Amino acid sequence: MSDDDQELGITESKSHNTGEWYAEVVQKAGLADYGPEGMSGFIVTRPRAYAVWERLQGFLDAKFKDTGVQNAYFPLFIPESYLEREKDIVEGFDPEVAWVTEAGNKELEERLAVRPTSESIITPYISQWVRSHRDLPLRVNQWCSVVRWEATETKPFFRTKEFLWQEGHTAHATSEDAWEETMTRLDQYESVYEDLLAMPVLKGQKPDHDKFPGADTTATVEALMPDGKSVQAGTSHHLGQSFAEAFDITYSDEDEEERLAHTTSWGLSWRALGALIMTHSDEQGLVLPPGVAPEQVAVVPIWQEDTKDEVLEYARGVADDLDDAGIRVELDDRDGRNPGFKFNEHELNGVPLRIEIGPHEVEDGELTLVHRPDGESVVEGRDGVVETVCDHFDEVYAKLYAAAEETLDGEVREADDRADILGTLGQHGGYVKAPWCGDEECEEPIKEPMAAEIVMVPFEDDDPLVETDHDETCAICDDDAERTAYFAKSY
C-alpha cells in the first residue's frame, strides 16, 4: 500500500509554490488534463470537475430563470464583417480570435471567427426581435464555450484558450433598467460564490480604462487567491447604447416614438472552478463545499475478518438511508484497500464528510463523522443520520466560509501614498485600498514596478449611480479623489 499512499499526497506547498501546488491538485484529484500536442492552452475537463460545473450551472441557471432570463443558442461562428460592426469589440478581441478559413474542402469567402464572446452575433437578432416597448426587457442567455487565443502559460480553469461560461445579453427601454439588470446579475454572481462556493467576494466596478470593450461600465466580483492575487470572478456590463447603435436595436415607445435601446451583457466562466479549487484546497488535495461536491459523503467501513459482515451491513444501511434522502453518498467497501488509503483518497478527491464505521460504532449504535478539511471528528448517534449529516454539511460550509472570510478581511489594507501602496503590496500582497482620482495615469506608478493594478472600485452604498464625495486626495497625484481604488496583482 505504501506506494499507493505516496501517490495520493500533494508534494508542493500551497503557501510557497501556489502555482505548482494548484497544478498538482488539479492533476491528482482528476479534475483536468492538458490538451493534446499542438493544442497547448486547451484542457480536458474530467468528470469530477465537470460535475462541480454542472452544480454551479444548476444553481445559477435557476436564479436566471426566476428573474426573467430565457436560454437560447446562437451560432459558434461570427462572420468577420459582424465582428467589425462594433469597433471596440473588434479592437478588443481581434488579436485573440481563432479564424475558420476553410470548410467543406473550400476556402471561405469571408473568415469566420470562433466566438470570443457573442455580442456581435446576438445583438443583431435582438434587434429583429425588439419592435415595441412591450418586447422589453428582452433577456437571453447561453451556456457555451468561447475561444480566446492568449499566448500566456496555461493554468487550468484560469487561463485556457477555450473556456466554458454563460453569457447573458439583454435589452432595455431605459438606462436605469439596464443598470438594474447589471446589478441583479452581479448580485447573483456574488451569491454563487458566497452561498454555493463558500467564498466571500468583493463587489465593485472596473476602472474605466479596464472595462469590457464597448461597455459604459463593467461591474465585477473579485475573489482573493491564496497567493495574494485577485481573480476577476464574474463581470456584468452596462453596455449603454453602443451596441444598440451598432446593431440598430430600436423600439417604439408608448407614444409610438422610435427610441434606441440600452443593453447589458454578463458572464461567469469556469474560472469559478479554478478560484474554488485554489481557495479551499490544501496539501491533502481538493476541498469542496457540500453543495457542489459530486460525492458528499464517503462511508468507510473498518473491519476485521470476524466483524466484516456486521460492519458492512450496518454501513450499507447508513449509506442507503442517505442515498434515499438524495444525499450523494459512496459506500467504500472495496477489498484490498486499507482504511488509511481510503481516507487519503477521499480527502484527495474533496469529499466533504467521511463516516467511519467499525465494530465499536456498530455496538454502540453510533457513527464517527470526520470533516474535510480540518479533520474534526465527531461521534453521533445512528438514529436520524440524514438530519445529522445535513447539520454537518452546514458546519463544513460554515468553516470553509469563515476561513476564507478571515483571510480576505486580513488581506485588505489601506495606504495613502505611492510608497505606502508599493510597500504594502510588496510585503503582503492582497488588496491595498487607496483614494484615487480616477485617472489611468495614476495607476501607472504602481503597475509599472509592481505589476499590480486597480482591480476594483467599490460602489458607494452598493449603488453604482450614487456619486462619491470623499474629502480625500488621490494617493498618487494629490488631485481630488473621487473614488477608492483597490490595487492588487491579478490573474
| Interface ranges with a copy of itself (CB under 8 A) | 33, 35-39, 42-47, 50-51, 53-54, 70-77, 79, 81-82, 94-105, 109-112, 114, 121, 124-125, 128, 140, 144-145, 147, 149-151, 162, 164
Output the CA torsion sign for 181, 96, 143, 41: negative
With respect to a copy of itself, which residue has the nearer C-beta, 294 or 352?
294
Output the smallest distance, CB 469 to a copy of itself, in A: 43
Q: Which is nearer to a copy of itself, 129 or 374 (CB)?
A: 129
C-alpha cell at 159: 487561463
CB 66, min distance to a copy of itself, A: 12
Task: Return the number of the residue (74 or 245) whose C-beta is nearest a copy of itself.
Answer: 74
Q: Minimal distance in Å, beta carbon 125 to a copy of itself?
A: 6
CB of 39 or CB of 378, closer to a copy of itself: 39
CA neighbor of 117 nearest in space, from 159, 83, 72, 70: 83
Q: Measure the CA angle with vertex 232, ends 229 and 234; round to 5°.
A: 150
What are the residues facing 460 on neighbouring strands?
463
What is the rounded CA–CA span in Å between residue 451 and residue 267? Answer: 25
Nearest in space to 296 (alpha carbons), one of 339, 319, 330? 330
Nearer to a copy of itself, 95 or 449 (CB): 95
Shortest separation between residue 105's beta carbon and a copy of itself, angstroms: 5
Nearer to a copy of itself, 139 or 433 (CB): 139
Query: What is the smallest separation between the CB atom of 161 and a copy of itself, expressed in angstroms?
Result: 8
φ, ψ at 171 (rounded to 5°) = -130, 145
Of the pair 297, 481, the CB lying nearest a copy of itself is at 297
Torsion 102-103-105-108 (CA) sign: negative
Query: Least separation, in Å, of the C-beta of 351 and a copy of itself?
Result: 16
Q: What does 434-482 look like in DSSP terms, one character per residue?
A: EEE-S-GGGTHHHHHHH--EEEEEEPBTTBTTSPP--S-B-TTT-SB--
What does the alpha-carbon distance between residue 337 and residue 302 come to, in Å, rounded to a whole number? 11
| Residue 423 Cβ vs a copy of itself, minimum distance, rounded to whole Å | 37
Residue 244: count of CB within 10 angstroms of its CB: 24
- Minimum Å gap between C-beta 106 and a copy of itself is 8
Structural element, H or E, at residue 55: helix 47-66
Smaller CB separation from a copy of itself, 72 or 402: 72
Query: Which is nearer to a copy of itself, 53 or 314 (by Cβ)?
Result: 53
CB of 23 or CB of 76, closer to a copy of itself: 76
Beta-carbon contacts of 62 under 8 Å, excluding residues fewer than 6 positions away, are: none
Contact 421, 429 (CB under 8 A): no
* Shortest Å distance, C-beta 27 to a copy of itself: 12
Nearer Cβ to a copy of itself (39/325): 39
Shortest Å distance, C-beta 453 to a copy of itself:
23
Let me know: does 347 contact 287? Beta carbons within 8 Å: no
Of 102 and 467, the one with the shorter C-beta distance to a copy of itself is: 102
Q: Tell me whether residue 147 or residue 223 sits nearer to a copy of itself (CB atom).
A: 147
Which set of grid coordinates corresponds to residue 195? 452561498
CB 369 within 8 A of CB 354: yes
Q: Which DSSP helix (H) or strand (E) runs through 49?
A: helix 47-66
Q: 3-state class of 182 per DSSP?
A: helix
Beta bridge partners of 436: 483
SS3 for 427? helix
Q: Name beta bridge partners: 113.
A: 78, 99
**CA distances for 354 relative to 29, 205, 278, 357, angstroms:** 17, 41, 22, 10
For residue 242 the three cell numbers come to 453602443
Nearest approach, Cβ of 104 to a copy of itself (angstroms)? 3
Q: Residue 59 corresponds to which cell in the numbers above?
A: 444553481
User: What DSSP designation does 154 have?
Assistant: P
Q: What is the smallest separation between the CB atom of 406 and a copy of itself, expressed in angstroms? A: 34
CB 456, min distance to a copy of itself, A = 28
C-alpha cell at 64: 436566471
d(CA 154, CA 26): 13
